[in-house]
Amino acid sequence: MTTTRSLRIVDDIEIARATVLRREPFAEPLLAEPVQRGIDELWGEHISPADHVRRIIEAVRTEGDAAVARFSQRFDGSTYDSIEVSGDEIARAYDEVSPEDIEAVEFAAHRVRRYHEMQLEHAPTSFRERGMGMEVRPLQRAGIYMPGSDAALPSSVIHTAVPGVVAGVRQVIGVTAARPDGTVNPLKLVAAHVAGVQRIFRASGAQAIAALAFGTETIPRVDKIFGPGGIFVTIAKQQLFGRVGIDAIYGPTETLVLADEHASPDLCAADLLAQAEHDVLATPVLITTSRALAEAVAEQIEVQIATLERGSIARAAIERGGAVVAADMDQALELANEFAPEHFCVLVEDPVALVPRIRNAGGVFLGESSPEVLGDYTAGPSHVMPTGGSARFASPLTVLDFLKVMSVVNLTPLDLDQLGPYAARLARAEGLTGHAQSIERRLEGR
């Protein structure tokens, strides 16, 4: 039997809240020493990550393309002459990607598109009634951050861009890091083309977010920026919020598996490890009503982790998370709702019966046939989901994020007669005589 295990098991609920289920608020990170040294060398002094991003944003605002290219090429170690990816490059990408991978991209995009088309059918619609109403409009232009350089991450492109295309956004543009030779990973280009991204630009990190926010000579200014990225993307989104629309602030991925004594230990372990291999900062959590299951899952994790290419990353993440043994399902659900996970995997005897009691989650995955990994790729709903407990108040990326509402007032003279005196009275009570007179002059002239 394995004597050293990565998954800690906690029985005391208050200790679990203080350890396994505890999140630190997003704060300015402590960067790896080589990264911090590179930043200090760039600016000739020691500066914080937030100041580093602030200076990049200002440089892009004043210098445009020159700053975008300078910073992107420095940080990505790339060289290129043209910021925009040409149509010929996209066409060549199809020749460089295997037919099987193209088929997988097209299948995933079809599934995501069909789901969001159904979602749009249930979205708010324009209406007029009794002189009042609203108009629902898609955004004019959306910017998609396409993460990864050598790594393609085509699924992220699909799951971010397709909802915007379905919503009717007039122009969807993408920004992405280039590889050292200046090219963009061809699988990413294929995914973007299939998803409906119309223009693609070589720009990464904070400088890409700033370019989308301000616009440059080459990169158009967008109405709203979408998609997860690294720490500098996250800081830039925070600093530019209000100047440009921001979808959300995304942190490291997290999965909570809720399991009873009937659950399969090997599948619980597999679901935890699937998220753990993303990032050493990922948070995999098991909440169960069975101590025996928690022990079995811990053993299975050690067996399975040895088979993973990213086993060391997964182990570090597993050590960040842990297992909590709850007294009963009521307590397990209470803890799960408090945690408000990005991914909520329900591996119990009757998972559907628990859905009415689940209040806070980005995505809910019911039963053994609905693993979260399917949600990452081909299930349909966008895998861009709220992290860090923000599922208490936020939702996954949907077509609604690409729509906006305008209130419309179109009242009759009779309505003015009925509503006006009350409005004028309230205006004078607030000391806003100009407001009152705007109404009173209309009433006097009748």
- Tell me the catalytic residues: 342-343
Tokens 């990170």: give the residue: 29
Q: Where are the beta strands (DSSP E) in 238-325?
A: 245-246, 254-259, 283-288, 322-325
Of 216, 176, 212, the closest CA to residue 195 belongs to: 176
- Pairwise CA distance, residues 195 & 204, whole Å: 20
**Could you say which DSSP state residue 221 is in?**
P
Which amino acid is present at 262? Answer: H
- Residue 258 burial by CB count (10 A; 0-12/13-18/19+): exposed, middle or buried? buried
How is the beta sheet containing 283-288 ordered, strand by strand?
9-10, 322-325, 283-288, 254-259, 343-347, 363-366
Of the chain, the end-to-end C-alpha distance in Å amounts to 91
- Tell me the two tokens of residue 394: 């936020």
- Which residues are within 8 A (CB) of 317 and not within 5 positions of it... i.e. 6 or more apart? 275, 276, 277, 278, 279, 280, 281, 282, 283, 284
Q: Which helix or strand (DSSP H or E) is residue 170 part of?
A: none
Q: Which tokens in the block code for residue 37? A: 């040294």
